[in-house]
Amino acid sequence: MAKIQRRGQKGAAKNYITRTQAVRKLQISLPDFRRLCIFKGIYPREPRNKKKAAKNSQGANQATTFYYTRDIQYLLHEPLLNKFRDHKALAKKIGRALGRNEISDANRMEKNLTPKMTLDHIIKERYPTFVDALRDLDDCLSMLFLFANLPSTETVPPKTIQLCQRLTHEFEHYLIRSNSLRKSFLSIKGIYYQATIQGQDILWLVPYKFVQRVTGDVDFRIMGTFVQFYTTLLGFVNYRLYTSLGLVYPPKFDAKADEHGAELAAFAIEGRNVAAALDDKVEQPAAAPKQVSATAQAEADKLLELPSGEEPTSSYATAQENPSSNPKDEEEEDRQDGELDSFPAPIDPESDVLHQPTVSASTAANLFEPFTIYLSRETPRHPLELILRAFGCKRVAWDTVLGEGAYTSDEADRRITHQIVDRPNLPLPPVPVEDEETAAANASMRLRPGERVPGRIYIQPQWVWDCINAGKLLRADLYAPGATLPPHLSPWVKAKQGEYDPTKPLAEQENEGEALAAEADSDDEMADENAGSDGEEVDGVRGDGEARNLESKLLQQGGKEVVTGEGMDVELAESDDDEDEEADAAKDEEFGGFTEDEEESESEDEAARHQRELAAEADGRSLTADAGATPAKALRKKEAEKAQKAISRQRKEAQEETDRQKMMMSRRKRKIFEKMQYSNAQKDAEAEKLRGKRRKIEKGQAKN
């Protein structure tokens, strides 16, 4: 006889457990259970059938939270459970002491008997390798940078804010020393940064330094638990990163300089076994001396014996003399560290093009190296200082109002090559002519707001971000004070095929006949505006006062007939001329009549003309507006109409072919294909709308 399977011992009922059951099994409180799950990286799960997972039909509802049973069993052996229980026991003792009014005993127990929790073993457990920690660093940096900019409240203690600030500044120092920063973007939420560390791309968000208002609808207990875990993680990562560069961790911190706003300058970075501070160059870790082969030593001796004017032979000649050597290996050895490979363009133009890397370690280290940049008081000092130093600038100056640690605080210093300003370009009154002695005496004085120093380049802050995203120095005149800045585009958004790309010219993205049709529409709009602006009434249009007077006069005259039609009043010939009538009748008898095609084309032309007359009458436009158009406009309009007809014919043929192919599909595939067509049509319409906006902007700029 087979063994009887009891209910709840198999399937979803065995694999899932509710939160209430998990808390009872672990014998801890619900807040401690939440903290433990955050530390261990255990999250709720959604079963396919909640009724089966809850073991009965009544216990499952929308608010029930389920976990994997194996995850809860895994938590039974966690050392932090003992710490949580010790906390609970201590809380009972302190409450009992306070109930007996023994305040000194309660303070003593809280100070001496509070158990200390460390999360080091959890960090090593969740991240067995350093690359795993780097991959999970995005949320860590975003959270810590957020708490570093929050004000201190009851829920956010000052010690937590100071710890977050110290760890984030240490990480920024590593970015500066290793030139690991690659891209940055100014958004509404804040400033996005991306760094490449040991082949891993790390992206995080830093909020702007505005006054933050802490609301009550945010649960800072949950966020504080994440901060406690992330501070431990970033401390491990910073230690590993500093030691990889041969630097001492933690760096020396000057509290007095930090109180005066030094920020990054409050840290003194030192190398191992070196008493003095290192220079701004990155110090590589000391490596064991390598043994030089005899062949390489012989080649070096030959080069030393060559005369000063003679050059060594080429790699091809060396390869002919020594066939065992590989020129590719020599090129790889000669290549500098941090250089990026460039991918050749594919032969097939329709194939996918590999993205060419723009910023390498060597580019980041030398982009702003030859410059001395001064930051005006209205510019954001900290993000600009970080980006400039991370991309090679060793001389960053600012006013003393922004804090300590500047290269120089004299705005009139002649060594300054670039000045970043973010104020309008206001005209200044002329400066009186001074003698050489007076000019030399006033050279070190503070400049007036908006005063320019001859020979210095003035730029707006966006120039720095656009330069690092492009990987090269851009034209400074496009970012001059008061100039209309180029669009600041996200470096991570790459336009796909068929979508609007703001970096490419408009002519490369337009569809066939789109420009001609848009130009014809703009000409029609201008003609309508001109016709409406004149305000003149046209004779013969039904509804005009002068047309009615003219009609009544013609009706009173004798010998003439006036036929009133729709849109125009046409005066016919005199009825007394019988000879003309006979001649017309003879011509009609001689004429054999129209063919069917001619009759159809004539009727179509009359219908189109009649439709245009009705539209013109309804809009109040002049019927002779087309007659006054220039030949160039008329030619463009005809070309646009021809192109539009050809495009509509092609679309119709393509639609017919698509319909024939859809008939061979199954119902399911046909529905999917129709959804795909609908989404593609929406994307094309949105791209065409954006191109139309750009076309109007470019036309307006061309007119100005």
Residue 419: which pLDDT band, with cuts at 50, 70 and 90?
Answer: very high
Strand order in the sheet with 372-375: 395-398, 372-375, 418-420, 457-459
Say if residue 340's pLDDT is above 50: yes
- Report the C-alpha gap between 287 and 337 in whole angstroms: 16
Q: 303 in helix, strand or coil?
A: helix
Averaged pLDDT, 368-393: 94
pLDDT of residue 13: 85
Mean pLDDT lowest among 358-367, 505-514, 568-577: 568-577
- Assigned CATH for 364-384+393-426+449-493: 3.40.50.10190
Residue 25: which pLDDT band, with cuts at 50, 70 and 90?
Answer: very high
Hey, what's the torsion of the CAs at 462, 468, 472, 475, to 10 degrees? 0
Task: Tell me how far apart the terminal alpha carbons of the chain are, to the nearest angstrom.
Answer: 95
Buried/exposed 241-276: b ≥16 CB within 10 Å, e otherwise? bbeebbbbbebeeeeebbeebbbbbbbebbbeeeee
Say if residue 422's pLDDT is above 50: yes
pLDDT of residue 180: 93
CB of 269 within 8 A of CB of 173? yes
Q: Which helix (H) or strand (E) holds 168?
A: helix 158-178
pLDDT digits (tens, 9 = 90+) for 434-488: 566 665 555 555 676 667 888 899 999 999 999 999 999 999 999 999 888 998 9
Averaged pLDDT, 195-210: 94
CB of 246 within 8 A of CB of 271? yes
Say if residue 165's pLDDT is above 70: yes
Percentages of the chain per state (helix, strand, coil), in multiples of 5: 50, 10, 40
Hey, what's the torsion of the CAs at 126, 130, 136, 142, to 10 degrees? 120
CB of 118 within 8 A of CB of 86? no
Hey, what's the torsion of the CAs at 232, 235, 236, 242, to 10 degrees? 180
Residue 357: which pLDDT band, with cuts at 50, 70 and 90?
Answer: low
Higher pLDDT residue, 667 or 580? 667
Residue 553: which pLDDT band, with cuts at 50, 70 and 90?
Answer: low
Q: Where in the chain is the domain with CATH 3.40.50.10190?
A: 364-384+393-426+449-493
Say if residue 555's pLDDT is above 70: no
pLDDT exceeding 90 applies to what percent of the chain? 39
Residue type present at position 348: D
Closest CA to 96 of 111, 84, 109: 109
CB of 336 within 8 A of CB of 358? no
Pairing of strands 569-571, 562-564: antiparallel
- Alpha-helical (H) ranges within 354-433 are 361-366, 381-390
- Report the C-alpha gap between 587 and 581 in whole angstroms: 10
Q: 569 in helix, strand or coil?
A: strand
* pTM, to two decimals: 0.70
Pairing of strands 66-68, 16-18: antiparallel
Residue with tokens 């505005």: 210
- Report the C-alpha gap between 315 and 503 in whole angstroms: 41
- Ranges of beta strands (E only) in 568-667 are 569-571
Higher pLDDT residue, 35 or 352? 35
- Report the C-alpha gap between 246 and 50 in whole angstroms: 55
Say if residue 28's pLDDT is above 60: yes
pLDDT digits (tens, 9 = 90+) for 103-129: 999 999 988 988 888 999 999 999 999
Mean pLDDT lowest among 145-159, 340-354, 493-507, 556-570: 556-570
pLDDT digits (tens, 9 = 90+) for 588-643: 544 455 454 555 555 666 776 777 777 666 666 555 545 445 666 677 777 777 77
pLDDT of residue 352: 53
Averaged pLDDT, 339-349: 54
pLDDT of residue 318: 42
Higher pLDDT residue, 24 or 554? 24
- Report the C-alpha gap between 183 and 469 in whole angstroms: 5
> How confident is the prediction for the chain on average, in pLDDT?
77
- Report the C-alpha gap between 278 and 390 in whole angstroms: 16
pLDDT of residue 395: 94
pLDDT of residue 290: 47
pLDDT of residue 433: 58
How many angstroms separate the Cα of 455 from the Cα of each of 415, 416, 462?
A: 10, 9, 21
pLDDT of residue 625: 47
pLDDT digits (tens, 9 = 90+) for 54-92: 876 555 566 789 999 999 999 999 999 999 999 899 999
Say if residue 688's pLDDT is above 80: yes
pLDDT digits (tens, 9 = 90+) for 174-183: 999 999 999 9
pLDDT digits (tens, 9 = 90+) for 275-330: 444 444 444 444 444 454 566 556 656 544 544 444 444 433 344 444 444 544 44
